Amino acid sequence: ATNLAGNYLSGAHLARLETPIMSIQGLIVPRLEFYHWYEIEENYDGGNIKISVDDGKSWQMINPEGGYSIEALPDAYGNPLSGQPAFTGKSSAWKKAELDLTSFKETPFFQLRFEFGADEQKEAAGWYIDNFKLFDGNAVLIAKTSNPATDSPLQLRIHPNPANPVAALRFKTLRAEKLQLQIFNSIGQRIVNRYFITDAEEWAQWNWSGMNDQQQSVASGIYIIYLSGKQGSVSKKIIFIR
């Protein structure tokens, strides 16, 4: 929230709330939703959402479905978000905001930033955000038509997790094919890229000892294992401990 204990203050200022780094690798229809309630000086103060795909080096506006309340905040009273679209006015109740992230499917990792700008004049209750969720919009259809435990054409298992000093990556496909296995670090850099030929319905295994493709040891932390082929893709997190 802009202020959990009361109104946001008057006076031109900018407030920011950033999410942790997230991944949509392997999601067929990546979507994001959250609920928000706001009471903001209408048409003068407001908030919007931005996305970064380069570890926060740059940010671009992202529009929720249905758009914002106003196309551009005015620049008459020093609002740092002047000229930008924003939620403004009164929501009257908690409302769901939805964002389609399909255009970012090829981006391994991203962050979102909620920005709120106020001008020199009034104060108000502010902007409150809750029930933030990142999910696959195709998940409901998948759940209705298959049993993920037995019907998935591509399966990936990691043991142990957390891992030290070696993680066994086991994978299986319904049909024989060539698979690509990639590992990304927490800022979206690909550190491992391997290819494997699999037999149908046979478990294959590759042991990762915490080395990148340059045979350098990686640091302790969270990594994303991303396995893909013609039959689909799957991704899982692994914690590697030195």
Task: Tell me the pLDDT tens digit for each residue of 221-230.
Answer: 888 899 988 8
Confidence band for 139, pLDDT divided at 50, 70 and 90: low
Q: Give me the pLDDT at residue 241, please.
A: 84
Q: Distance of CA 58 to CAs 93, 123, 177, 241, Å? A: 33, 30, 38, 30
Q: Give me the pLDDT at residue 147, please.
A: 41
Task: Tell me the pLDDT tens digit for each residue of 160-218.
Answer: 988 889 999 999 998 899 999 999 887 778 899 999 999 988 999 999 999 999 999 99
Q: Give me the pLDDT at residue 138, please.
A: 64
Confidence band for 145, pLDDT divided at 50, 70 and 90: very low
Q: Does 145 or 5 have the greater pLDDT score?
A: 5
Q: What is the mean pLDDT of residues 84-94?
A: 96
Q: What is the mean pLDDT of residues 5-9?
A: 92
Q: Give me the pLDDT at residue 152, please.
A: 67
Rounded-to-integer distance, Cα 239 and Cα 242, Å: 10
Q: Give me the pLDDT at residue 221, please.
A: 84
Rounded-to-integer distance, Cα 72 and Cα 204, Å: 55
Task: Tell me the pLDDT tens digit for each residue of 18-38.
Answer: 998 888 877 778 889 999 999
The one-letter amino acid at 182: Q
Q: Give me the pLDDT at residue 143, please.
A: 35
